[in-house]
Amino acid sequence: MKQESKLRIGAAALVALVATTGIAVSTFAYQGDPNVKGPDYTPERHEAMTQAFENVDYNAWKEARGETKGKGRMMEVINEENFN
């Protein structure tokens, strides 16, 4: 009886350890590969965006950004007042 109890406790501890490890590993987000360029990337567009950020020029950024296919929520959230 005593040995069976130890076996159950050991099995429960092992299950808890495996479950905890599985949950912890699954929470790590994919960091991506910074060397992979997106589908809308061009050196010219990258330079235009960089210049717009450096000069805090919302209209230049909006023009460069507007060339993309999917604008997404970014254009709804970023406006001239909060572009800095």
Residue 45 or 34, more confident: 45
Structural tokens at position 8: 């159950």
* Residue 45: partners with Cβ closer than 8 Å, 6 or more residues away: 64, 67
- Which range is least confidently modeled, 10-14, 18-22, 28-32, 39-43? 28-32
pLDDT band at 22 (very low <50, low <70, confident <90, very high): confident
Q: What is the pLDDT of residue 34?
A: 80
Spell out the alpha helix ranges (H) of the chain.
Answer: 2-26, 43-54, 58-65, 74-77
DSSP at 31: -
Q: What is the pLDDT of residue 64?
A: 86
**So where are the chain's domains?**
2-77
* Residue 67: partners with Cβ closer than 8 Å, 6 or more residues away: 40, 45
- What is the C-alpha to C-alpha distance for residues 51 and 46, in angstroms, rounded to an integer? 9
